[in-house]
Structure 1
Amino acid sequence: MKSFILFLLLGAVVVGYTQTPIPRDTSFTLHGTYLKERKYRPYIRIAEVKSSVASYLDQEYDRVGDRPLLLDVFYPKSGTSKRYPGVLLIHGGGWQSGDKSQMHTIGKALAAKGYVAVAVEYRLSLEAKYPEAVYDLKSAVRWMRAHADKIQLDTKHIASLGTSAGGQLASLLGVTNGNSDFEGQGRGNAEQLSDVQAVVNIDGTLAFRHPESSEGTAASNWLDGTYEQNSANWESAAPLNHVSKNSVPIIFLNSSIPRFHAGRDDMIKKLDRYGIYWEIREFPDTPHPYWFFSPWFQPMMDYTVDFLDGIFE
Structure 2
Amino acid sequence: MRTFFFQIFPGGLALLFLLVVANEYAVARPSHRTQDVAYVPASDPTFDTERHRLDVYAPKGKSAELRPVVVFIHGGSWDSGNKDFYSFVGRRLAKQGVVAVVINYRLAPAVEVPAMADDCARAVAWTVEHIREYGGDPQRLFLMGHSAGGGLAALLASDNQVLARRGLAQNPVRGVILDDPAGLDMYDYLQKMQYPGDAQYLVPFGKEPAVWRQVSAMYHVTASTPPFLLFVGGETYPSISSSSEKFRQKLVSLGQQPVLKVLPGKKHAPMVLQLYWQHNVIYQDLLPFVGATSGARAVVR
Q: TM-score, normalised by structure 2?
A: 0.77
After TM superposition, list the pairs within 5 Å mapping 1:1-313 onto structure 2.
Answer: 49=24, 50-51=26-27, 52-63=30-41, 64-65=44-45, 66-68=47-49, 69-80=52-63, 82-177=65-160, 179=161, 182-183=162-163, 190=167, 195-205=172-182, 206-208=184-186, 209-210=188-189, 214=195, 216-225=198-207, 230-256=208-234, 257=236, 258-294=238-274, 297=277, 298-309=280-291, 312=298
Instruction: Note the alpha carbon deviations across 1:10-45, whole angstroms, 9 max, x for none.
Output: xxxxxxxxxxxxxxxxxxxxxxxxxxxxxxxxxxx9
How many Å separate the matches in 1 of 2:126 and 2:239? 34
Moved more, 165-174 or 193-202: 193-202
How many Å separate the matches in 1 of 2:194 and 2:131? 38
Moved more, 153-162 or 60-69: 60-69
Give the match's secondary structure for 2:113.
Answer: coil
Higher helix share: 2
Q: Which structure would you say has the larger Rg?
A: 1
**Would the aligned equivalents of 1:173 and 1:195 in 2 still touch at CA under 8 Å?**
no
Task: Give the residue type in structure 1 aligned to 2:174.
Answer: Q
Structure 2, unaligned stretches of length 5 or more? 1-18
How many Å separate the matches in 1 of 2:253 and 2:272? 34
Describe the shift of the 1:240–1:212 C-alpha distance in structure 2 as closer, same or farther (beyond 3 A): farther
Give the match's secondary structure for 1:109.
Answer: helix
Describe the shift of the 1:161–1:46 C-alpha distance in structure 2 as closer, same or farther (beyond 3 A): farther
**Would the aligned equivalents of 1:46 and 1:293 in 2 still touch at CA under 8 Å?**
no
- Aligned residue pair count: 261
Describe the shift of the 1:299–1:213 C-alpha distance in structure 2 as closer, same or farther (beyond 3 A): farther
**Would the aligned equivalents of 2:78 and 2:113 in 1 still touch at CA under 8 Å?**
no
Task: Give the residue type in structure 2 aligned to 1:308.
Answer: V
The residue that corresponds to 1:15 in the other structure is none
- Aligned-pair CA distance for 1:267: 2.1
Describe the shift of the 1:164–1:238 C-alpha distance in structure 2 as closer, same or farther (beyond 3 A): same
Describe the shift of the 1:170–1:60 C-alpha distance in structure 2 as closer, same or farther (beyond 3 A): same
How many Å separate the matches in 1 of 2:80 and 2:126? 24
- Aligned-pair CA distance for 1:149: 2.6
How many Å separate the matches in 1 of 2:63 and 2:289? 25
How many Å separate the matches in 1 of 2:141 and 2:76? 23
**Would the aligned equivalents of 1:161 and 1:199 in 2 still touch at CA under 8 Å?**
yes
Task: Give the residue type in structure 2 aligned to 1:98.
Answer: G
Describe the shift of the 1:142–1:192 C-alpha distance in structure 2 as closer, same or farther (beyond 3 A): farther
**Would the aligned equivalents of 2:181 and 2:244 in 1 still touch at CA under 8 Å?**
no
Instruction: Note the alpha carbon deviations across 1:115-161, whole angstroms, 9 max, x for none.
Output: 11000010111221120111111111111111133111211111110
Task: Give the residue type in structure 2 aligned to 1:284.
Answer: P
Task: Give the residue type in structure 2 aligned to 1:231.
Answer: P
Moved more, 137-146 or 262-271: 262-271
- Aligned-pair CA distance for 1:236: 1.4
**Would the aligned equivalents of 2:70 and 2:141 in 1 still touch at CA under 8 Å?**
yes
How many Å separate the matches in 2 of 1:274 and 1:174? 15
How many Å separate the matches in 2 of 1:46 and 1:223? 38
- Aligned-pair CA distance for 1:86: 0.7
Give the match's secondary structure for 2:69.
Answer: strand
How many Å separate the matches in 2 of 1:80 and 1:306? 17
Describe the shift of the 1:156–1:184 C-alpha distance in structure 2 as closer, same or farther (beyond 3 A): closer
- Aligned-pair CA distance for 1:58: 0.5
How many Å separate the matches in 1 of 2:253 and 2:269? 31
Describe the shift of the 1:137–1:194 C-alpha distance in structure 2 as closer, same or farther (beyond 3 A): farther
How many Å separate the matches in 2 of 1:133 and 1:294? 26
Structure 1, unaligned stretches of length 5 or more? 1-44
Q: CA RMSD in A?
A: 2.9
Give the match's secondary structure for 1:203.
Answer: strand
